[in-house]
């Protein structure tokens, strides 16, 4: 991933994308249409920091339906995802997990979904399978309101990482995306 100064050209491309194309690429970062619409409406962004701040502010205000839509765009932790997808890369820390950890993650995912009604969302990037399992098991003790706020925080972190990756990709692809 490139540093902020190097992502400036990716930010310029994002700012210049036609609205439908911008919505499409942003929904790869967060599946909630309300989030993508708000981020697109805030363009142009002068800095990557301004884009990330807008993203965070929008995630913080997503209503229940939009938050559910965002969650629907995420696979279960430990579930196989399409090779090359952001989720596959983000969950790379699970690749060496033993059978016991995989089994406990699977059991925990189902218990979590039964308790909270949606997938266990956690920023997996940079975390080991053991860390993800420990977080899952501890979050099962949360009440629904507390967990909803934890989910918002995790969604904001994941979306920030994906936005940075998107800007990197747009920098690499260049201005071809603006047409």
Looking at the chain, how many residues does it have? Answer: 179
Res 4 pLDDT > 70: no
Token pair, residue 105, equals: 């993650």
Radius of gyration (Cα) for the chain, nearest Å?
A: 17
Report how many domains make up the chain.
1
> Are 36 and 30 within 8 A, CB to CB?
yes
Cis? peptide before 44, omega within 30° of 0: yes
Collect all residues with Cβ–Cβ distance below 8 Å to 46 and sequence separation of at least 6.
none
pLDDT, tens only, 57-103: 999 999 999 999 999 988 888 765 544 455 555 555 566 677 888 89
> How many C-beta neighbours within 10 Å does residue 38 have?
19
Task: Name the nearest CA neighbour of 167 among 1, 10, 8.
Answer: 10
Q: Looking at residue 153, which CATH number applies to its domain?
A: 1.10.3330.10
DSSP code, position 65: H
Helix axes 48-61, 33-41, angle to 10 degrees: 140
Continuous H helices in 73-139: 86-90, 99-116, 129-139
- Residue-level pLDDT at 78: 73
Distance separating alpha carbons of residues 99 and 54, to the nearest angstrom: 41
**Residue % of the chain over a pLDDT of 70:** 82
Structural domain span for residue 124: 4-178
> How many C-beta neighbours within 10 Å does residue 98 have?
10
pLDDT, tens only, 149-174: 999 999 999 999 999 999 999 998 86
Mean pLDDT of 47-63: 97
């Amino acid at each position: 991933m490139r540093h902020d100064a190097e992502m400036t050209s990716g930010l310029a491309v994002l700012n210049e994308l036609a609205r439908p194309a911008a919505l499409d690429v942003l929904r790869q970062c967060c599946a909630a249409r309300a989030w993508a619409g708000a981020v697109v409406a805030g363009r142009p962004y002068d800095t990557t920091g301004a884009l990330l701040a807008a993203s965070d502010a929008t995630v913080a205000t997503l209503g229940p339906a939009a938050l559910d839509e965002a969650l629907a765009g995420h696979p279960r932790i430990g579930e196989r995802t399409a090779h090359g997808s952001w989720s596959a890369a983000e969950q790379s820390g699970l690749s060496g997990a033993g059978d016991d950890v995989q089994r406990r993650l699977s059991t925990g995912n189902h218990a979590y979904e039964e308790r909270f009604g949606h997938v266990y969302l956690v920023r997996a990037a940079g975390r080991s399978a053991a860390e993800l399992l420990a977080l899952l098991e501890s979050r099962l003790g949360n009440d629904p309101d507390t967990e909803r706020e934890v989910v918002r925080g995790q969604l904001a972190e994941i979306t920030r990482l994906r936005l940075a990756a998107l800007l990197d990709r747009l920098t690499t692809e260049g201005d071809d995306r603006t047409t």
